[in-house]
Amino acid sequence: MRISTIAAVASNGVIGKDNDLVWSLPADMKFFMSTTKGHVVVTGRKNYESIPEAYRPLRGRTNVVITRNRDYVAEGAVVVHSLEEALEVARKAGETECFVIGGGQIYDQALKEGLVDTQYITHVEASPDGDAFYPSGAWDGWSARGLHEQAMDERHDHGFRIVQYNRTGT
């Protein structure tokens, strides 16, 4: 099973602030929704709760929420208590590509533990204030393939380019 992260990352590494996103980028949201559709998505509890209630669990995918809280309930989602347990849910479901969708703590653990094969990174041309970050240098030395470019316009707060990074040798 391939394990992939998918994230929109500012030039300074910021991915969010006050448990929310710091931009509106509809074309990136569309990329996220189409890329993860039909797959298992693994999320930290904070990121999960940052999704507006009307949109969670994310439809058409198995949502796996990681928390240390043994009493946590998320209707329509699978609740687990470690990243390894989350990945086991995906493996048991016969998943071919499992997406780690954040936030910062969960990206950090997946990458530090060397579990990630692919990173889909939306490089956002901005340096906003924030309190959640993607791990720095995470794609250094990985092979890069450009997938999409978007200029800033009336619908997009910033320009961005989406790059798929594969761990060298995978």
**8 lies in the site for ligand NAP, by CB under 6 A:** yes
**58 lies in the site for ligand NAP, by CB under 6 A:** no
Q: Where are the alpha helices (DSSP H) in the chain?
A: 26-36, 45-50, 83-92, 104-112
CA count, 13 A, side-chain hemisphere, 44? 15
- Placement of tokens 């300074």 in the chain: 12
The letter for the amino acid at 54 is A
**127 lies in the site for ligand NAP, by CB under 6 A:** no
Instruction: For ligand NAP, give the closer residue by CB, 94 or 137.
Output: 137
Find all residues with CB under 8 Å of 88, minimum gap 6, and list them: none
**68 lies in the site for ligand NAP, by CB under 6 A:** yes
- For residues 14-53, which are near ligand NAP according to CB under 6 A? 15-17, 19-21, 44-47, 50
* Interface residue list for ligand NAP (CB under 6 A): 7-8, 15-17, 19-21, 44-47, 50, 66-69, 81-83, 101-106, 109, 132
